A and B are shown apart, each in its own frame.
Chain A
Amino acid sequence: EAQVTQNPRYLITVTGKKLTVTCSQNMNHEYMSWYRQDPGLGLRQIYYSMNVEVTDKGDVPEGYKVSRKEKRNFPLILESPSPNQTSLYFCASGGASEGQYFGPGTRLTVT
C-alpha cells in the first residue's frame, strides 16, 4: 500500500528542546516536502527535497532544518523549538504536478 508515515503523531515539548519528526514514503518518489498548517492560513511549505542530498527552502523555513540522506526518508528537525512553531505538520511525497500524497500529520505543541 502506497503511504507516507510520520512519527510522532502528537508531541508536546518545551522551548529550546531539540526534536525531530520523521517522515518516510514507500513510493520511490524523488520529491518530498514539509508543510505546516495553521488555522486560516492553509498550508505553508517549510522545506522540500528534489532528491537525495538536494533540499531547498519553502515559504517558511526559519527555525527548521531538514536532511535527505535516503530517498525514502525526509526528517524535519527543530533545533530550538519556540511556541510560534506550535502547529500541525504534514510531510508529503510526490511531485506537485501529479498530486501529492500526504502523511497523517504531527501535532506539535511547544510550551
Chain B
Amino acid sequence: AQSVSQHNHHVILSEAASLELGCNYSYGGTVNLFWYVQYPGQHLQLLLKYFSGDPLVKGIKGFEAEFIKSKFSFNLRKPSVQWSDTAEYFCAVNRRGSNYQLIWGAGTKLIIKP
C-alpha cells in the first residue's frame, strides 16, 4: 500500500535555527507532492507543491522543498525559523493522474522557542 512517512513527530528549535523536515513516500510512479501547514487552531493551508521541473520548489513564508526522486523524498526546509512558524506540517502525495486521493503523512509538530 502507498504510504507517506514523516519521521519526526515533534521538533523543537530556537528562533533563527535552520529547519529540515523529512518526508518519504512509497509509491514508485509519477507523483505530485505537497506540504501543508496547520497553525494552532487554524485549518490546513498549502505551503508549496511540486508537479514537475526544477526539483527545488519555493513556497510561501520562506519555505522550500527539494524533490529527490531516487530517494522518494520531499524534504521541507527553511534557513532561519521564526516563532510564528510554530505549527503542524503535513506532507502529502498524489499519484499523477489520480485527481481524487491525497496520501498524507502523520504530521510533524514544530515548536519554535522564542
Contacts and interface: CB of A to CB of B under 8 A. Distances in A.
Nearest to A59: B101
Contacts, number: 58
B42 interface: yes
B11 interface: no
A45 B104 CA distance: 9
B61 to A, nearest CB: 16
B73 interface: no
Contacts of A97: 32, 51, 94, 96, 98-99
B90 interface: yes
A102 B43 contact: yes
Interface residues of B, number: 26
A99 B43 contact: no
B106 A58 contact: no
A99 B49 contact: yes
Interface string A79-111: 000000000001000011101101111000000
**Interchain residue pairs A-B with the least CB separation, the first 5:** A42-B106, A42-B104, A102-B44, A96-B94, A43-B104
Interface of B: 4, 6, 9, 32, 34, 36, 42-46, 49, 51, 90, 92, 94, 96, 98-102, 104-107
